[in-house]
Amino acid sequence: MKLLIVESPAKAKTISKYLNNEYTVRASVGHIRDLPKSNKNAIDIKNGFIPHYEISAGKEKVVNELKRLAKKSTDVILATDPDREGEAIAWHIKEALGLKKPKRIVFHEITKQAVNEAMNHPRQIDEDLRSAQEARRVLDRLFGYDLSGLIWQKLRYGLSAGRVQSPALRILVEREKEIRAFIPESFWVISALFKSENKTEIPFTCSIEPKTEKDALDIISASKKAKWHISDIKETDNKRQPRAPFTTSTLQQAASSRLGFSPSQTMRLAQKLYEKGHITYMRTDSTNLSTAALSDIQNIISKEFGADHYEHHVYSKKAKNAQEAHEAIRPTDVAKKMEGTTDQEKKLYRLIWTRTVSSQMKAANVLRTKITAQSDDKNIPVFATTGSRVIYPGWLLADTRASGEDIEVPKLKIGELLSLIEIDSVGKETTGPNRYSEAGLVKELEKRGIGRPSTYAPTIKTIVDRGYVTKEGKSLIPTDTGETVSDFLTAHFDSYISDSFTAQMEDELDDIADGKRTYEKTLSDFYTPFTKVIASKKNIEKISNLGEAPDNIKCPECQASMIIKLGKGGKFYSCSRFPDCNGALTLEGKKLEGPKDLGRVCPKCNKANLVEREGRFGKFISCSSYPKCKYIEEDPNAEKPGDTGVTCPLCNKGTMVEKRGRFGLFYGCSNYPDCKHIIKTKPTGKICGYAREDGPCKHLMMEGTKTIPDRCSDKTCPNHNPHKLEK
């Protein structure tokens, strides 16, 4: 027997179709080891930044099963993703399973040809790639742990900083400050409707924008008395070149603008399409296409649009130090115009198909026309109208959404007289810079060399999840908390959250991957000066005052002056006499109520009193010394909404109740926080009982699909996968 290990069950299922029965294909279900949460035991800095890894929580059964299968196998093949993270996962599997010489294979698409080709050319684990990923993980831990600890002391507990997230946040905060500082200027737009000699009505606009209403009214008054004619007609042929095939960055941008998908959503869908064998690997900054792919694209263009529309293009790599993957993101079989299981997967696949095919088609030819109208009064500015129409569609045949609408202008001739039908003006104001959208921020991060393809989506997700940024429509807006954290970092650690430092670190990680730089030197060069800067900031005062409140804002309790502070919900007004007075107001002027002391000692820590707090889902009782003590008390007489009545199989004390978290509904033990057992969907009350090699499965069954009503809550159990149940 031969064992082949991949990351995900979906990928395992796809690969199994291409291999014969001598191979057993299993999934590690992502990473199986990671650094412990405590930094004290995570990294041995003195002895060369040696990381100490632990089996990730919940992965013990996966590791044990893989160990058991590896002992029975004559060969173990590691087929994790073809990038640094995939190389690191392969190495962690090797170490955790105690493998001596496992074979490593890589492929950029999960097709029979690609898998078999990879199986014929195994190699050893690339230690340089693995070291580069390990350096990134250790670097991010050291940076975030030390800097976050200082922010807790000087700003507020629970805040954090990150090597890539902090520069991204800084970019958003800088734009927000530009928007605030922008002073709008008034201007007027004058629009006129003319009639040509053949009675065609044509809208024109003034080619200058008057600064005052009087200027606009003077132009309107003079225009009504003047005689008008066509003074100029310009026709220009413009070529619209096709766009390069998708990289990770451009896919995220296009999916955001066209489909409304967030970068993290786009990457989840792309991951599923890749694992099902529909597209090539989705983490890449290369725009290359293989010779075989180009041949297939030429054939599909000839079939769908005509051979005369094909034209081979080679695109330059715009991303700094483009690396890691050999090809752009493309369909594995371009003859298939639609793939995917869900509507969202199908939309994303179609977008990838369209960009891939259109990238190898001829440029579109667009005729742009500008017509100028002039009066006999030299004091009146000229008016103009423009139009455009597609003369030759080229690549727009494949990407119809990019073509826009033809704006026809009537056939006119120079000198032709015009009659003014109506003229009017509208007062407007200049607008400041736009806020970044998710697509815009991804583009900006790539432009500045901050992060790499795999980091864009998780970076944006992190700053949103941490409450540093909110999304309104497509705009990313820094919160009070986010702006305060960014200002603190800019004031004290500007060089470490600068574009140049972040980009330089990415270059050094690339050098490790290329074997040009060592792991220990890279971390030492960073950490030695970094710790000195951290130490130098230990004595700065805690920032509890973010400024004075306006003079008209007085404490609701004692009428004293107030100051601005940062709380969990953002900025608020606090009495300047705190802690002698607890008066507080929101920035909108509403009174803030603090936790209500119940006069009972916490039964867990036996030190602090219990208080009644107001949470996102209503009132609850907890220890006043939170977060040191995380005791939460439930009212035994209170109705428990969503209580399934199913006993928790982990503690046998609580019941599984419906809860709502950051990512939606889930079911957790009512005995939380003493028991933290959770499952994704509603339990049926049945125990799985699936006959596994280590005995019958004792996990709860969850409600599944219409065709398969029950599925096991344990991901490592075959009963968890509906497709395996169908078999």
Paired with 701 in beta bridges are 712
Residue for token digits 């033809």? 406
3-state per-residue secondary structure call for 269-303: HHHHHHHCCCEECCCCCCCCCCHHHHHHHHHHHHH
390, with CB counted inside 10 A (0-12, 13-18, 19+), is: middle
Which residues make Cβ contacts (< 8 Å) with residue 522, sequence separation at least 6? 135, 139, 508, 509, 511, 512
Q: Which two tokens stand for residue 323?
A: 């690396």
Report residue 93: phi and psi, to 5°: -65, -45
Contact 90, 96 (CB under 8 A): no
Q: Which two tokens stand for residue 121?
A: 């050319």
Rounded to 10 deg, the angle between the 499-513 and 127-154 helix axes is 150
Q: Look at residue 160 and give its three-state secondary structure.
A: coil
Single out the catalytic residue among 145, 274, 281, 436: 281
**Distance in angstroms (rounded) separating the CA atoms of residues 552 and 219:** 47
| CA distance to 52, 57, 117, 453, per residue, from 85 (Å) | 17, 19, 22, 12
Is 281 part of the annotated catalytic residue set? yes
3-state per-residue secondary structure call for 102-136: CEECCCCECCHHHHHHHHCCCECCCHHHHHHHHHH
**Distance in angstroms (rounded) separating the CA atoms of residues 472 and 477:** 7
Strand bridging mode 643-647 / 632-633:
unpaired
- DSSP letters for 224-280: HHS-EEEEEEEEEEEEEPPPPPB-HHHHHHHIIIII---HHHHHHHHHHHHHTTSBB
Contact 667, 649 (CB under 8 A): no
Give the length of the chain.
727
Contact 129, 452 (CB under 8 A): no
Active site residues: 281
